[in-house]
Amino acid sequence: MIVLGIETSCDDTSLALYARDRGVLANLTASQLIHEEYGGVVPEIASRQHMRTLLSVYDALLARAGLEGDNLAGIGVSNGPGLVGSLLVGVGFAKSLALGLQKPVVGVHHIEAHVLSNELQGDALKTPCVALVVSGGHTSLYHVPRVGRYELAGGTRDDAAGEAFDKIAKLLGLGFPGGPAVQRAAETGDPRAIDFPRAMLGRHGFDFSFSGLKTAVRQYVDARPALTPRDVADVAASAQAAIVDVLVDRTVACARDRGVRHAYLAGGVAANRSLRAAMQAACDAAGISYHAPLLEYCTDNGAMVARTAEILISAGRDDRLSLDVFTRGAIVSWADSS
């Protein structure tokens, strides 16, 4: 059973083909570099770009896998949360394909797809677990008793972790997207050089807050006439350490609180080397098994959508033409609690 996954919730047009017994058959992403000029994603431009590229990415994907539309068992599409214009383009495309090919179509929650990106290397999600989804748009910590059941344990009160990386990169003149740029700059810096705030650390509950860190970085930068390359490296390393410390502390505390033995990372920020290493070390020390997706499946991709859709379609779901988009909201459980 081959399923097509369509991801257009933000600025990546990504399509993939997935089969349970064969894994990812093909995954193609057209990234919209044009947003670099603006230092962030411009929603209107993003949706127009999706419209321009979707059909050619679809054709190229099928050609790469040597397949035709008729070979598909069904179609899955991210229908939220995300940018409304971008989502509408993907969902409209998915619905017309489903109608033309007479195949089922399902809406996939983008954050659930990130969680399930951990299955793309072949192993089923080990549940019960906690899953930290950290990206440009989301920072949320879920307790997952099993696939299909999701309990939100904590979320960000202001900026998402990826947004914090992006804003800090902008303050340091490092370009967009900021995460990889901050990681690169941090490599030669001292993570203990500046003691940036670590909000919510040790607090009750599992929420996050990154706006104080962003303000502290801005004040640090504004207080100096110019930053040397050494300063930039130290600020990047120290800010990255502050973000990583909070993410790791909250995740391990949540796993302990819920009494689970597995912790998963997901989302664009899960590609961060320092976060992966720190999470691994903290989980080892706490006797928790740590898991993270392959690097290529951390940032937005069609493969995670196809994987999730395959589960939903196998369970008999077909959203047909009633499928609609939504812009915000936590993962909705679809499996019963037994």
Q: Is it true that the peptide bond before 177 is cis, omega within 30 degrees of 0?
A: yes
Contacting range for ligand KG4; rule: CB under 6 A; set: 62-70, 94-102, 171-179, 284-292: 171-179
Contacting range for Zn ion; rule: CB under 5 A; set: 68-76, 129-137, 179-187, 322-330: 129-137
Choosing from 254, 272, 309, 311, the residue that interacts with ligand KG4 (CB under 6 A) is: 272
Q: Which of 272, 98, 280 is nearest to 187 (CA)?
A: 272
Q: Which does 107 bind (CB under 5 to 8 A by kind): ligand KG4, Zn ion, none?
A: none
Q: Are 138 and 111 in contact (CB under 8 A)?
A: yes
Question: By beta-carbon distance, which residue lies closest to Zn ion?
Answer: 135
DSSP, residue by residue, 83-129: -HHHHHHHHHHHHHHHHHHT--EEEEEHHHHHHHGGGTTSPPP-SSE
Under the binding rule (CB under 6 A), the answer on residue 137 touching ligand KG4 is yes
Contacting range for ligand KG4; rule: CB under 6 A; set: 132-140, 206-214, 216-224, 281-289: 132-140
The burial of 223, by beta-carbon neighbours within 10 Å (0-12 exposed, 13-18 middle, 19 or more buried), is given as exposed
Under the binding rule (CB under 6 A), the answer on residue 13 touching ligand KG4 is no
Binding track over 296-315 against ligand KG4, x by CB under 6 A: ---xx---------------
Under the binding rule (CB under 6 A), the answer on residue 150 touching ligand KG4 is no
The burial of 337, by beta-carbon neighbours within 10 Å (0-12 exposed, 13-18 middle, 19 or more buried), is given as exposed
Contacting range for Zn ion; rule: CB under 5 A; set: 44-52, 218-226, 230-238, 300-308: 300-308
Kindly state the tokens that stand for 123.
């192993």
Under the binding rule (CB under 5 A), the answer on residue 135 touching Zn ion is yes
Choosing from 162, 189, 191, 302, the residue that interacts with ligand KG4 (CB under 6 A) is: 162
**How far is it, in rounded angstroms, from Cα 64 to Cα 66?**
6
Choosing from 5, 74, 76, 136, the residue that interacts with ligand KG4 (CB under 6 A) is: 136
Shortest distance in whole angstroms from residue 305 CB to ligand KG4: 12
Provide the H-helix boundaries in 135-186.
161-171, 178-186
Choosing from 179, 189, 293, 302, the residue that interacts with ligand KG4 (CB under 6 A) is: 179
Under the binding rule (CB under 6 A), the answer on residue 269 touching ligand KG4 is yes
**How far is it, in rounded angstroms, from Cα 106 to Cα 145?**
23
Nearer to Zn ion, 234 or 300 (CB): 300
Nearer to Zn ion, 12 or 249 (CB): 12
Q: Which does 209 bind (CB under 5 to 8 A by kind): ligand KG4, Zn ion, none?
A: none
**How far is it, in rounded angstroms, from Cα 302 to Cα 60?**
14
**How far is it, in rounded angstroms, from Cα 337 to Cα 148?**
9
Q: Which does 271 bind (CB under 5 to 8 A by kind): ligand KG4, Zn ion, none?
A: ligand KG4
Kindly state the tokens that stand for 101.
């090919």
Kindly state the tokens that stand for 206.
């599992």
**How far is it, in rounded angstroms, from Cα 124 to Cα 121?**
9
Kindly state the tokens that stand for 73.
């068992």
Under the binding rule (CB under 5 A), the answer on residue 300 touching Zn ion is yes
Shortest distance in whole angstroms from residue 34 CB to Zn ion: 19
Binding site for ligand KG4 (CB under 6 A): 10, 135-137, 162, 165-166, 177-180, 183, 267-269, 271-272, 299-300
Binding site for Zn ion (CB under 5 A): 135, 300
